[in-house]
Amino acid sequence: MSDHEFLVIGGGIGGLATALGLAHAGARVHVIEKAPEFGEIGAGLQLAPNASSALDRLGVLGEIRKFAVAPRRMVWGDAISGEIVTAFDLGEPFVARFGYPYLVMHRSDLLNVLLAACRAESRITLETGRDAVAIEDKVTGARVTCDDGTVYDCAALVGADGLWSPTRKFIADDGPPRTFPFVAYRGAIPIAEVSEHAGLDNVIMWCGPDMHFVQYPIRRGELFNQVAVFKSPSFPAADWGNEAELDAHYAQCCDYVRKSLLKIQRDRRWTMVDRAPISTWVRNRIALVGDAAHPMLQYIAQGACQAIEDTICLAERVRDIGDVGDAFLAYQEARYLRAARVQISAEFMGGIFHIGGVGRVLRNKFFEGHAADDYREIAWLYGHRA
């Protein structure tokens, strides 16, 4: 048995960022991770200004810039015709409007930067191979028991334990996640393998009926991240979303998208899942952050961004409010409506991306006249400061 001021369950991006934020607020933090080592599964992620500003406040943005790419444009293309529908300028006008850049990078690079910062912070201790299986609310603290019998008593507990969070189940048992009939194949390839492209310094999304295909450079421009999403016709059969379905669905696409699909990694596929928004993230001195609080669909690239926003808000409430329980409640009130709006918007935008038939034509027509420096529709999202 061991005692800690703050205990964080989960050593992913959200958990490490939480530890760093709390340490900067003067707290002592212990992080437990169930995996044998700290690591991230997947390839690329996108960090909009609402996240890059928060990472700056955590003191790690400079190190992140060593690995990240600041793309020149965000481009929207039609996957069937191959035509470019519209684009956002992510250069000087964008940075002038939002104060921070739009960055893309490898998930493992972000985690490694956060991990190094945590290891350099004397107020943070880290432990792997600890799988939390039971949580007790002690009102003035919490107790966590792991599968190997290890017990932790803490003055405050933060669940950064992801989609299947046992901490969330303890606070708001809302059943299993929602599974959608969409599946994603993703991975990164060496940039040298990309023979033709719509600009290697862009984030580009090709949209089509019940599909979208995303591409952007990561890791200093050395790798090219690709994500292929489509709706499986056999959902929820045992082998839904398999490679044969992937190829059949993308056969309708333009030459460029079909050729790009040949290089997509196929050794693993991810299902599209989320949970409905909830308003209760806190129970006494136990709180949720990241996917434990608000798992969302990937369609507006805000999952990691919202987790990082959480960490800043939580840490600053702890710093400014004397009682941890009151600080956690203030954090919940400051965050849950915004996170719910982002969750709902992600699902809504998926419908826009994936529309077919006449809807696809009308969508393209609607967006084709959009000015590259008109950021009004995204200002609420990217301009937010936690």
Q: What digits encode the pLDDT tens for the residues 121-133?
A: 999 999 999 999 9
Q: In terms of pLDDT, which residue wins out, 200 or 186?
A: 186
pLDDT above 80 (res 199): no
pLDDT above 70 (res 49): yes
Residues 6+ apart with CB under 8 A from 301: 45, 46, 48
For residue 128, give the 3-state DSSP assignment.
strand
Give, rounded to a whole angstrom, the gap between the first and last alpha carbons of the chain.
35
- Among 68, 46, 75, 89, residue whose Cα is nearest residue 204: 75
Q: What is the pTM of this model?
A: 0.95
pLDDT cut 90: percent of the chain above it: 91
For residue 208, give the 3-state DSSP assignment.
strand
DSSP 8-state class, residue 373: T
pLDDT above 60 (res 198): no
Q: How far apart are CA 314 and CA 321, in angstroms?
A: 11
pLDDT score, position 192: 84
Question: How does the average pLDDT of the chain come out, rounded?
Answer: 95
Weakest-pLDDT range from 139-148, 172-181, 188-197, 211-220: 188-197
- DSSP string covering 2-26: EEEEEEEE--SHHHHHHHHHHHHTT
pLDDT in tens, 103-120: 999 999 999 999 999 999
Q: What's the gap between Cα 348 and its chain centre? A: 17
pLDDT above 80 (res 2): no
Q: How far apart are CA 275 and CA 318, in angstroms?
A: 27
pLDDT score, position 241: 97
pLDDT score, position 134: 95
Classify domain 2-41+106-171+274-347 at the CATH topology level: FAD/NAD(P)-binding domain (3.50.50)
pLDDT score, position 196: 63
Residue given tokens 């481009």 in the structure block: 75
Name the residue ranges covered by the structural domains of the chain. 2-41+106-171+274-347
Q: 56 pLDDT band (50/70/90 cuts)?
A: very high
pLDDT score, position 369: 84
pLDDT score, position 13: 97
Q: 97 pLDDT band (50/70/90 cuts)?
A: very high
Q: How far apart are CA 369 and CA 350, in angstroms?
A: 21
pLDDT in tens, 280-331: 999 999 999 999 999 999 999 999 999 999 999 999 999 999 899 999 999 9
- Do the beta carbons of residue 200 and residue 194 sit within 8 Å? yes
Residues 6+ apart with CB under 8 A from 285: 138, 139, 140, 141, 142, 155, 156, 157, 324, 325, 328
Q: 247 pLDDT band (50/70/90 cuts)?
A: very high
pLDDT score, position 41: 78
DSSP 8-state class, residue 203: E
Q: What's the gap between Cα 319 and its chain centre? A: 25
- Do the beta carbons of residue 16 and residue 111 sit within 8 Å? yes
Q: 201 pLDDT band (50/70/90 cuts)?
A: confident
- Among 157, 182, 179, residue whose Cα is nearest residue 170: 157
Residue given tokens 């490679």 in the structure block: 243
CA-to-CA separations, 251 to 222, 229, 244, 257, in angstroms, rounded: 29, 13, 11, 9
